[in-house]
Amino acid sequence: INAHSISASNDNVNGHYGIPSGNAGLPKPEIFASGFRNPWSMSKDPSSDDIYLGDVGGTEEVNRIIPSQHAGKKFGWGAGGNSGAYNCGDAAYVCPMAWYSGGAVTGVAVKRNIAGNWPAQYLNTVFHSDHKGNWIKYTPIGQNNSQPFDAGGHQPLGLMFGKLDGN
């Protein structure tokens, strides 16, 4: 990842550089998608190849990158600038699943439908945290209505799920 694009490449067992099939390659073969300002955190959905990316910079974004649909696509940064005025009807851009002005989206983590200690309302959601805003919110996958999870003033720098959560 660089400041404006996601590159996809691989090294095979012989150490040779390669570009995965299906990579859109715009403007270079290694570039999968563009339109990111400052990707800070990323989380892979454990039940798919989807990637959720927190993008910091004026307008904070949580982007859902679906590899089978988004090769060569441009994401929000540059479309709405710092105003947050995204034109989600414009097929040239993929709108963020969540965005807001100010703050610093510093953590993104996916919680799928896994039996365990979590209440049902939090399953199949994307959690995102904001360091400057001192909060954690969650957004159901496939929706764009973020809900508060924790506003305890913890200044989170990242999020992850692991064995310590009991699941």
How confident is the model over 115-143, as pLDDT tens digits?
Answer: 567 788 888 899 999 988 889 999 998 88
Tokens of 116: 């365990």
Q: What is the pLDDT of residue 138?
A: 92
Q: What is the pLDDT of residue 52?
A: 92
Q: What is the pLDDT of residue 1?
A: 44
- Please tell me the chain's helix, strand, coil percentages from 3-state DSSP, rounded to the nearest 5: 5, 35, 60
> Torsions phi, psi of 69, nearest 5?
-120, -20
How confident is the model over 43-95, as pLDDT tens digits?
Answer: 988 888 899 999 888 788 899 999 888 888 888 666 554 455 666 777 778 88
Q: Which residue has the higher pLDDT, 11 or 102?
A: 102
| pLDDT for residue 7 is more than 50 | yes
> Among residues of the chain, what percentage have pLDDT more than 90?
11
Q: What is the pLDDT of residue 53?
A: 92
CA atoms of 82 and 44, how far apart (whole Å): 26
The pTM of this model reads 0.80
Q: What is the pLDDT of residue 2?
A: 45
How confident is the model over 12-51, as pLDDT tens digits?
Answer: 556 666 777 767 666 677 778 888 888 888 998 888 889 9
Q: What is the mean pLDDT of the chain?
A: 78
CA dihedral sign of residues 54, 56, 60, 65:
negative
CA distances from 33 to 43, 59, 83, 96, 156 (A): 16, 19, 22, 13, 27
Tokens of 115: 């039996």
